[in-house]
Amino acid sequence: MDAHLKKRIHPHHCVPVSRSETPAGEKAKKCASTIFNVPAKGRQARAQAFHPLTIRGVTMQNRIWVSPMCQYSAHEGFHNLWHTTHYGGMAQRGPGLVMLEATAVQANGRITPEDSGIWLDAHVDELRKHTQFAHSQNALIAIQLAHAGRKASTVAPWLSSAAVATHEAGGWPDNVYGPSDVPFGENYPTPRAMTLAEIDQLKEDFVLGARRAVAAGFDVVELHFAHGYLVFENRTRLALELVEAVRAALPEETPLFVRISATEWLDTNPDYQGESWTLDDTVRLAHLFAERGVKGGPGYQAPFAKAIKRAVGDKLLVSTVGSIKDGVLAEELISGGKDENDTPVDLVAAGRMFQKNPGLVWQWADDLGTSIQVAHQIGWGFGGRGGKTKTPVSNIP
Ligand SMILES: Cc1cc2nc3c(=O)[nH]c(=O)nc-3n(C[C@H](O)[C@H](O)[C@H](O)COP(=O)(O)O)c2cc1C
């Protein structure tokens, strides 16, 4: 792309066009423009969702972010053109933060053979392409570090929702580990219980993953402690040790997010009599995370996130995700205040709606009467045409 911009090579036909240089000064000025959010024409104020948010050393241009979503499209953990276009399309269109999918810190921690990986130094080069592009769009970009535990070595969900990935399918069903040797469910590999040495190795690999993420240029690192994967399974001690180790490995200015499932829902199942993880446990865990310097803690579903935020106050930033389908709802969640239980959350994430529409933030900005900055190549046609100044001409030889 650089060559296309600097040398005026036609982007589609790859032949030189008439001018040898582009108006570099003007272009650099436009591309360096800071956060733009302003009330749309005829509006007095910009929406709360479009107020920037600074977390440690980074500033999100708004409070809406792309929830991590596995693409099940990598090869041996390496990203390819699918990932480039998928994440790039969203980064072009104004999100506060794009979170890359669950990315395995160990090869056997992948959910499927096609999961994204960061267990090798060699993974960094492809990952760096995402951060370079996102930063060229003034977007922040994050990565979710994960280990699937007993849920590893299954096939991609669009192939089957209940099948072990066998060796023939690229899986490792005899090298799956978890907290015990009990399988996650009927159609999952039988794990072996992790040894203490394996737990130590896991911690080391999360730290190495975090270091590689920093080397690749990510602005935020998230730890995936949700959805029944390895660290979710009532393993408060492991979660806290991982948070401490990864926080210590990150630069001061890099925020650490932690994704937790606020409940296992088992307390609402009349057929289940045993213990389970509940909202009260999550609130206690959130306090412990806050003491260890975590700055973001996505809950699942707004009422849970609000309860957590009410309990932890300013000690933690709390985000919610789940079926937030329009900007008006996002704004309500971030504004709160409808009644005493309506505690505002700090951030709102969306998943599937971004898959459907990479311009979701732009659409929500329209819903809420706010003008945002999107890629110049796209935005100028919507009223972002340059002024009639003659200055760019002086930069053209
Ligand atoms: C295709 C797909 C892949 C997902 N992969 C991940 C993942 O890698 N990590 C994660 O924490 N959640 C994952 N999720 C959950 C989403 O991040 C999100 O929490 C969920 O889809 C609910 O939000 P939504 O209603 O806005 O889609 C995935 C969801 C979908 C639909």
Q: What's the CA angle centered on 228, arms 223 and 230, to 5 degrees?
A: 55
DSSP string, 42-68: T-SS--GGGS-EEETTEEESSSEEEPP
> Lowest mean pLDDT: which of 56-60, 193-197, 273-277, 314-318?
273-277
CB of 134 closer than 8 Å to CB of 124: no
Our answer on whether the CB atom of 323 is closer than 6 Å to any ligand 1 atom is: yes
Task: Give bridge partners of residue 141 from the DSSP assignment.
Answer: 98
CA distance 256 to 243: 8
Model confidence pLDDT, tens digit, residues 278-310:
777 777 776 777 677 665 444 346 888 898 899
Our answer on whether the CB atom of 322 is closer than 6 Å to any ligand 1 atom is: yes
CA distance 298 to 324: 14
Our answer on whether the CB atom of 101 is closer than 6 Å to any ligand 1 atom is: yes
What's the gap in Å between 352 CA and the centre of ligand 1?
7
CA distance 55 to 78: 29
Q: What is the mean pLDDT of the chain?
A: 86
pLDDT-derived band of residue 1, with 50, 70 and 90 as boundaries? very low
> What single-letter amino acid sits at 360?
L
The one-character DSSP state at 77 is: T
Our answer on whether the CB atom of 75 is closer than 6 Å to any ligand 1 atom is: no
360-367 vs 327-335: helix axis angle to the nearest 10? 70
Smallest CA separation from ligand 1 atom 6, residue: 69
pLDDT at 40: 87
pLDDT at 297: 42
CB of 46 closer than 8 Å to CB of 71: no
Model confidence pLDDT, tens digit, residues 117-136:
999 999 999 999 999 999 99
pLDDT at 387: 65
